[in-house]
Amino acid sequence: MARHSCCAKQKLRKGLWSPEEDEKLYNYITRFGVGCWSSVPKLAGLQRCGKSCRLRWINYLRPDLKRGMFSQEEEDLIIHLHKILGNRWAQIASQLPGRTDNEIKNFWNSCLKKKLMKQGIDPQTHQPIISQSQNFGSNNNNNNNNYYEQQQFKTPTITQTIFQEVPENNTTSPLKTHLPFAVSYQSLLRDIINPNQYLQTSMSVSELPSLENLERENCGILSSECFSQSIMFSAESKECSTSSSNTVINNNSSINSNSNNIAAFPWENSDDHSKYELGFFEQAGNYGMIKIEGSSSWGEEQLKSISLSDDLTAAADDGSFDVFLQHM
């Protein structure tokens, strides 16, 4: 059943907002806060629908908006996040403080897409456009303007693991309850690494780091300077064959595209890979930690302590997944 437009039923204003309307909305929200948007227009004295008010506030009036040109760091981050998340603008925007999903979407469509295409990169797949890249020919080979060439040292690379095979009688697996996280990490790797390579990957446990807990208050969003930790992952797929090659993502070469170590995690429900949480890597003592920005899909208890070693130790026994944290 087609729904009527929220503005069509009543005689509500549409189009550009006047300064007076902005003022009314701004004054109302700053005074009473964001609550039920459908009641905002009436209470603020506006001839608009709630949806329109919400959009105007989020995209324009919010005081924490950054505005202005995107920095090179922001640009790199958007490209990297888009590679992982696709057109999930809201998720991408959540990692760029002061930027809105609409702003990023517009920036992508008007600038970044063209920039990548100019460099012979398909903006949807982030893979080189083979036929076109040949056409770009000598220009492309000789210049260093290609984002992926510039970022070469930062893009995910897969090398042979240094880890040993797990002894058959390994019984270390204290935390089965964290399995959902392990499943998430497994999915993370599948999405970030070349999927085919992932499925051929088997892994082993050589060492299980001691467990460390982080307090909830330490799990907030961190400044970019914090994320220079080197983290090594090693993954095993249940459905894989008996291949014994191991995989390491070395975060020195890195999952991320700039100084923020950011990774995407499919939601806890491992069947649904269409929704992601974004997490940060950080060093904690001798071990790396993953910190997840809190949101609805992560319970308070889960946020209190998300330790790679905990979660993945749990998965080790299950035979599905392991992560190793590199000592610095």
Q: How far is the CB of 272 from DNA (least distance, A)?
A: 9
Residue 70's closest CA among 94, 103, 102? 103
Q: How far is the CB of 289 from DNA (least distance, A)?
A: 26
Residue 34 or 328 having the CB closest to DNA: 34
Q: How far is the CB of 20 from DNA (least distance, A)?
A: 12
How many Å apart are CA 158 and CA 246, to the nearest integer? 9
Residue 324's closest CA among 291, 286, 293, 298? 286
Question: 3-class DSSP state for residue 96?
Answer: coil
Structural contact between residues 215 and 300, judged by C-beta atoms closer than 8 angstroms? no
Residue 112 or 315 having the CB closest to DNA: 112
How many Å apart are CA 135 and CA 73, to the nearest integer? 29
Place of tokens 């700039």: 258
Q: How far is the CB of 297 from DNA (least distance, A)?
A: 10
Q: How far is the CB of 22 from DNA (least distance, A)?
A: 8
Residue 13 or 304 having the CB closest to DNA: 13
H helices of 63-178, in order, are 72-85, 89-93, 101-107, 113-118, 130-142, 147-150
Q: How far is the CB of 85 from DNA (least distance, A)?
A: 8
Q: How far is the CB of 88 from DNA (least distance, A)?
A: 3
Residue 106 or 243 having the CB closest to DNA: 106
Residue 3 or 31 having the CB closest to DNA: 3
Left if phi > 0, otherwise alpha if psi is -120 to 50, otherwise beta: which for 307? beta
Residue 108 or 147 having the CB closest to DNA: 108
Spacing of C-alpha 33 from chain mean position: 29
In eight-state DSSP terms, residue 224 is G
Q: Which amino acid is at 123?
A: P
Residue 54 or 304 having the CB closest to DNA: 54
How many Å apart are CA 126 and CA 117, to the nearest integer? 10
Residue 69 or 210 having the CB closest to DNA: 69
Positions touching DNA (CB under 7 A) are 2-3, 5-8, 13-17, 35-38, 48, 50-52, 54-56, 59-60, 87-91, 101-103, 105-107, 109-111
User: What's the distance, Cα to Cα, between the start and end of the chain in Å?
Assistant: 59
How many Å apart are CA 2 and CA 8, to the nearest integer? 13
Q: How far is the CB of 14 from DNA (least distance, A)?
A: 4
Q: How far is the CB of 164 from DNA (least distance, A)?
A: 42
Phi, psi angles (nearest 5°) of residue 316: -60, -45
Residues contacting residue 139 through CB under 8 Å, at least 6 positions apart: none
Residue 277 or 282 having the CB closest to DNA: 277
